[in-house]
Structure 1
């Protein structure tokens, strides 16, 4: 299960609350905003050491010109492995600072790459669960991924 349980404002706080994460059965964390600036969430593998939670950080910035697409495969691989953990019992919490742009973009890319969804279906699936708003640059990158995957599937 890809976890989208927090409201956008709570995302970074939930990511730093080990007790809440453990209570929710989270086994893996994908931080789409790793870093120590105001726009990032300052956690890393050391933060989760000893908790039993497997961590992966992506130092994405929520700007139109940031190339998050270079992390699509890495993020999808991590989510896929997390969900397969202990014969499908894994739960991955994908987050960023607000849960509005970066983390939904990576979840949408996962749905496209591993669940064979097109960009419209993947966006609708995530929007059905929560309010999201990937920035325009991220949306363009998802559209390019959609075009690439569509052409690969035709071959």
Structure 2
């Protein structure tokens, strides 16, 4: 009910699962609420490949924000809101808003304290390198073309 009152139309759970370090929700949990749910079964460990879900997460966030003619609201969460979900939001900002990793992380940190684990930070750095090489980051396009 609280999410509905806040106008949330979509929920992205970046910690889907039944173990202690996960959040046990599913599409059925949100049935009848009008909220669209998507879950990613991510572990908050340095060796977990969250980057395999970056595109999927960004697509879901895009669709959610576009809902109701751009008035959709997406709630992205994990168990603590400190590592997994912020990593997904940073990747989204990089991929869809052409922010480099530092700016995207600073943007999220401006709103709340976050701390992606070292493995997730490495994956964001790898994404940054890939997007920079492809000329898909603001401020990086000129650098890429002059090399």
Return the TM-score normalized by structure 2: 0.92
Structure 2: give runs of 5+ residues left out of the alignment: 136-143
1:139 aligns to 2:121 (yes or no): yes
> Is structure 2 residue 106 aligned with structure 1 residue 124?
yes
Shift of 1:89: 0.5
1:82 & 1:26 partners in 2: Cα distance? 9
Larger radius of gyration: 2
The SS at the match of 1:94 is: strand
Alpha-carbon distance in 2 for matches of 1:87, 1:46 = 25
Partner residue, 1:64 = 46
Distance 2:62 2:4 in 1: 20
SS in 1 for 2:94: helix
Match of 1:76 in 2: 58
Q: Deviations over 1:73-116 (max 9, x none)?
A: 00000001100111111000000000000000000000000000
Match of residue 43 from structure 1: 25
The residue aligned with 2:10 is: 28
Q: Post-superposition shift, 1:50?
A: 1.0
The answer to whether structure 1 residue 109 and structure 2 residue 86 are counterparts is no
Q: How many residues align?
A: 137
Structure-1-length-normalised TM-score: 0.87
Q: 2: CA distance between counterparts of 1:82 and 1:116? A: 19
RMSD: 0.7
**2:78 aligned with 1:96, yes or no?**
yes
- Greater RCO, CA 8 A, separation 6+: 1
Any idea what SS the aligned residue of 2:68 has?
A: helix
C-alpha separation in 2, matches of 1:115 and 1:86: 20
